[in-house]
Amino acid sequence: MDQHGSEAPVRVLLLDATRFAPAAAIRLGVPPKDLSSAWAPDAWRDPAVARRFVVPTRYGVEVLTLPQHPRASGRDLVFENPDNEFLAGGAQTLLDAAREAGTALVVADLGSAIDEGHRQLIEHADLVLGVIRPTTESLADAYRLATMVRGLHMGRKLALVANQADDDREASQVAKDAGLDLLAAIPRDPTFEKAAEVGEPAWRLKPELREALVPLARIVWPFFVETNGHRHVPTGVLRNLLGARR
């Protein structure tokens, strides 16, 4: 609530940093044509410019999509222009833009290709979530993620979330073998694929999924409460919370 006792919405920014497959906004119902202007490195140099690339969604979450990686366009050279590199300064520009816009929570999908800018986001994160599938092959992904984050001396921020898990037994073993905590297990359900196709949150198509998703939401956002209204952050802007996806 604000100083007058009225409720105010919490501003949430989803930073889609998966440069090879930026699909978060599309899964939130944003038409692809509305994202074309977001794929421009100009946003990495000036917070005021970056704010102009932010795209609203009908669910109240705002999305900022990083430019596609040059290799995603079929070009042979990894970087034809230094402006295409996602460096630490570019990441800081995006965080400054979010802060200046009054954003309370930043969630970043980092993807699997980690550039200098992604490492900068991890450095500023309060929590890094590695999303794995509970299979034997996922153990290698968990080890790679743990090695990378620990190499940045930030291993204390890292935990795992199991996706498409029939139960949490195998995922718990993967987490234990990698020396990490398993914070949540999301069940296998075809509703998630259908939701991605139609640009709707899965829990809206199948309300029963809320039971599995709410515990994770509370981990990501400690102020989360189930209500028809909104939860307002009492003071200031929280530090950025980022999700590293695997």
Q: What is the pLDDT of residues 107-125, one digit of tens each?
A: 999 887 788 999 999 999 9
Q: pLDDT class for 206, splitting at 50, 70, 90? A: very high
d(CA 226, CA 125): 25
d(CA 40, CA 81): 12
Question: How many CB atoms are located within 10 Å of the residue 43 CB?
Answer: 25
Average pLDDT of the residues in 42-52: 82
Q: What is the CATH number of domain 12-220?
A: 3.40.50.300
Determine how β-strand 12-16 pairs with β-strand 105-109: parallel
pLDDT tens digits, 217-243:
888 888 776 544 433 333 222 333 333
Residue 43: pLDDT above 50? yes
DSSP classification of residue 99: H
Sketch the domain layout of the chain as residue ranges: 12-220
Got the DSSP string for 133-196?
-SSTTHHHHHHHHHHHHHHTT-GGGEEEEEEEESSSHHHHHHHHHHT--EEEEEEP-THHHHHH
Question: Which single residue is written with the structure tokens 């986001």?
Answer: 121
User: How deeply is 181 buried, as exposed, middle or buried, from its count of CB atoms within 10 A (0-12, 13-18, 19+)?
Assistant: exposed
